[in-house]
C-alpha cells in the first residue's frame, strides 16, 4: 500500500475459528494479521473484476454506505435539538 494513501481503522467481529484461520494464514505467509486480511480483501476484489464485476460498482457501494453513515449522524443531531 502506498504511504500517501489514507489509512482507516475498521473494527470487525469474527468467530474464534475465523480468527484462528487468519492467524495461521498470516504466520504461513509471514505477514501480520492486518496484512493478511488486507491481502485477502484485495484479492477478492481482483477476483470480482475477473468475474466481470465493474470496479465502479464497488465505489458506488462505498458511496452508498457513506451516505447511510451521514444520514445516521444527521438523524442523531436532529434528535438532540
**Could you tell me if residue 81 is inside a domain?**
yes
Whether residues 16 and 46 fall in one domain: yes
Domain housing 24: 12-50
pLDDT in tens, 35-74: 999 998 888 777 656 566 676 777 787 788 888 888 888 8
| Cell matching residue 11 | 473494527
- Residue 27 banded pLDDT, cuts 50, 70, 90: very high
CA 22/CA 19 separation, integer angstroms = 5
Whether residues 34 and 16 fall in one domain: yes
Quick one: pLDDT at residue 1?
46
**Could you tell me if residue 6 is inside a domain?**
no
Q: Answer whether residue 81 shows pLDDT above 70.
A: no
Q: How many domains does the chain have?
A: 2
The whole model's pTM is what?
0.52
7 Cβ contact partners less than 8 Å away, ≥ 6 residues apart: 1
**Could you tell me if residue 69 is inside a domain?**
yes
Amino acid at each position: 500500500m502506498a504511504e500517501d494513501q489514507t489509512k482507516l481503522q475498521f473494527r470487525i467481529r469474527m468467530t474464534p475459528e475465523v480468527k484462528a484461520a487468519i492467524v495461521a494464514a498470516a504466520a504461513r505467509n509471514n505477514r501480520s494479521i492486518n496484512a493478511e486480511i488486507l491481502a485477502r480483501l484485495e484479492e477478492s476484489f481482483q477476483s470480482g473484476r475477473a468475474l466481470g464485476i465493474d470496479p465502479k460498482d464497488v465505489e458506488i457501494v462505498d458511496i452508498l454506505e457513506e451516505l447511510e453513515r451521514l444520514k445516521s449522524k444527521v438523524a442523531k443531531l436532529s434528535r438532540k435539538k
